[in-house]
Each structure stands twice: as C-alpha cells, then as structure tokens.
Amino acid sequence: MYRFSRAIYRELASEIIEDPHAENPHLNHERVLRSCEAAVERLATDRHYFARPARTLFNDIRIYFPVCAQRRVLAVVERYLEFADEFLKHRPNDGFDAYGNPLQCRANTRKGTPCQRTPLPQNGYCPSHQHLADTEELPAAVAA
C-alpha cells in the first residue's frame, strides 16, 4: 500500500515549501510523507469509517504548499487515493486486509466485545450482524 502514498509524495515533493528557520531542512517533506502514509494506511484498514480520505489528507498537507499549487495538490491526492480505493475494492476477499491482518466484523456482541467472525466483503459485517448494515443506509435515505 505504500506505493500509493509514495507516489503522492513523489509527485508533490518539488512543490513543498521548506521552513528556513527549522533545524531539519527536510522536516516538511517528512511531514507530508508521513501524512500520506497515514491516510493510505487508514484507507486500507478502516475503509468503512473513512468517509472522505482525499479531503482529510489534503487538509493535513495543504499548509506545506504555496497557495498557487493547492489546486494541483488536491487533484493529485484525489487521483491517487481513488486508485488506492479501486485497488482495495478489487482485492480478493480471503479474510485478510491489505497488510495480512485478519478481518473482523464491525459489530460488537451483546457483552460489548468485538465480534470475531469474518465479515462479508460488501459492508464489513458478518452474516449475524447484516441487519446493522441496513440501519446505516437509513439516515442517508431520510436526508435525501
């Protein structure tokens, strides 16, 4: 998954503004790279609760770019995170996330502990908790 975050960084690295008063001359480069990696990692491990990854990443890194470059920064971030999302959607669902960790149902049991069953690929809930996925879609339909 780091190939997506590194691609974002490589494409934007030439436009990062450096702080002339900082002890480390490449501190802003490091911050942009770490933000890109964190966003892609969250997209890979927590897709259902990460509603707008491009907007979140752009808000995190836009302070390191000049105002005239921010439209391009947003376009690059949106494009690569869309590629990452498509890659994750087309991964085979073998019960593991992109990092090899076993997937777990998004629901909690009656005792309050996380459900340990393997979720279905369409919504992240196991067959026992499918009814919870239906309730997530209701507020969006009511708002429309």
* Structural domain boundaries in the chain: 2-89, 104-144
Q: Which pLDDT does position 136 carry in this prediction? A: 65
Q: Which two tokens stand for residue 3?
A: 């190939």
Q: Which of 98, 101, 100, 4 is nearest to 57 (CA)?
A: 4
Q: Which two tokens stand for residue 52?
A: 């707008």
Q: Which pLDDT does position 93 carry in this prediction? A: 63
How many CB atoms are closer than 10 A to CB 84?
Answer: 23
Q: Which pLDDT does position 99 carry in this prediction? A: 67
Q: Which pLDDT does position 112 carry in this prediction? A: 87
Instruction: Point out the residues of the chain with pLDDT beneath 70.
Output: 92-99, 121, 136-144
Based on its alpha-carbon atoms, the radius of gyration of the chain, rounded to whole angstroms, reads 19
Q: Which pLDDT does position 12 carry in this prediction? A: 96
Put simply, whether the predicted model's pTM sits higher than 0.75 gets the answer no
